[in-house]
Chains A and B, each alone.
Chain A
Amino acid sequence: MSVLHVVFKVDGAEYALPAADVLQMESFTGATPVPGAPRHVAGLVQVRGRVIPVVDARVRFGLSPGERNLDSRVVVGQLGDRVVGLLVDSAREVLKLDPAQVKPPPPLVVEQARGFVKAVAQVGPRLVMLIDFPRVIGEEAPDGDGQR
């Protein structure tokens, strides 16, 4: 049974998240910085009355922060009780992925992606990487419960 995925781009590469985990997508108009939060946290945004943290995918993936423009999107994802945004370069497409298309990531990707990529899908000529959302948004507390 094929599963619907949201596809987004970061630094030219294509990534995907199961659509079931995505609440919505918002354009990005800036975030309120939070002092003391991990570096990959771009800040807070308000989405439909709710204040959520936004993780900058470029910083999280070890890339230089890119220009924010009209294409920039916040992919709002749900993880248990948590709602967290992921700031990406663009997000325009949804794809149905068949389990048969999805393969474990090649060793090189595993190494370079710091565990953020849990599988890859071959879609025609394109290679789409399925990200491990919990790991990307970081399950760990930023500072061990405030004790540094």
Chain B
Amino acid sequence: MNITELRDHLCEQHPDLCPLFSIEFGDGVLSVSCDKLYEAASGLRDLGFDRLGMATAVDRGETFEVVYRLTSRSMSVGIFLKCHVPRDAPKTNSLFPLWPAALWQEREIFDMFGIDFEGHPDMRRILLPDDWVGHPLRRDYTDDRMIRRPDYI
């Protein structure tokens, strides 16, 4: 199945998700609002997306973009599922009940970006020490040990 066939299939099965689907750089992207994330994700899982390959986040300034990469073994196609969480209240639903692979991935997002996942059974740091202050992949992160790169390099 290619991307356009996936779009037709998605519009047929889930007409409400159809206007949120777009094709960026040859990949299917489903960009939803975060309160509809779990709903859309369970719809995609029922459609046949049985594998969560990767979950990450991007600092977009005012918002954090949470990105899930889903693939389907039966349809041989992948899709990106995205939602934007506000920076001042970074909280969204965990997809752990749908794909257990989200367990450590969402812990890493929490570690690096400070996004809280509701419904996650074990929401604590995974890579950094437990007493670490701050979330280092935020663009405004700094601490007194960091050395800023000078402009001339």
A is bound by B: no
Name B's A-contacting residues (CB within 8 A).
none
Name A's B-contacting residues (CB within 8 A).
none
